[in-house]
Amino acid sequence: MVNLGESPVSWLHARGRLTDRQFAAAELLRQDWERAGLSPQVTMRWDPAPIAKGRRAAPRALDASLSQLAARDRVSAAMRAAGPGLSDILWRVACAGEGIAAAEKALAWPSRAGKLVLTLALDRVAEYYCL
């Protein structure tokens, strides 16, 4: 879950750097990202071990639900719609919750380039989501 007060996308939107359409596209992408379960997971599972006939059985592989698979497909399609050069900053800011400055630094981009590229990516994602 994301605290909207701490989200880089909501921060940009609150300061007029993103339009309502771009903000909605970013939020839909983030919701699909969360629903798909693509964020990093802990390495330890705390589920109780299944017991079979008095002994522990090996845990079965969990099947992803249909909604999770559909969300994963929507995230992939949205990233393809954004394009290869734009999806990097889009993922970092909208999905991973990195700030623009941190994303620019990680991508070795000049400062202030990230905001422009992010707005272009969000326009394309908004078209994908039919906003």
Pairwise CA distance, residues 103 & 9, whole Å: 13
Residue 21 lies in a domain: yes
Cα four-point dihedral sign 105, 95, 76, 14: negative
- Give the residue numbers spanning the domain of 33: 8-38+66-128
Residue 81 lies in a domain: yes
pLDDT of the residue at 6: 74
What does each of the 131 residues of the chain score in pLDDT, given as a tens digit?
556 567 899 999 999 999 999 999 999 999 999 888 876 666 666 666 655 565 555 555 555 678 888 899 999 999 999 999 899 999 999 999 999 999 999 999 998 899 999 999 999 999 999 98
The predicted model scores a pTM of: 0.77
CB of 106 closer than 8 Å to CB of 98: yes
Which has the closest alpha carbon to 92: 17, 30, 20? 30
Residue 48 lies in a domain: no
Residue 1 lies in a domain: no
Residue 44 lies in a domain: no
Instruction: Say whether 17 sits in a helix, a strand or coil.
Output: coil
Which has the closest alpha carbon to 91: 111, 117, 56? 117
The half-sphere exposure of 83 on its side-chain side, counting CA atoms within 13 A, is: 11
Q: How many residues does the chain have?
A: 131
Residues 6+ apart with CB under 8 A from 90: 29, 79, 82, 118, 121, 122, 125
pLDDT of the residue at 47: 62
pLDDT of the residue at 80: 95
Q: Which residues pair with 51 in a beta bridge?
A: 56
pLDDT of the residue at 5: 64
Residue 45 lies in a domain: no
Residue 30 lies in a domain: yes
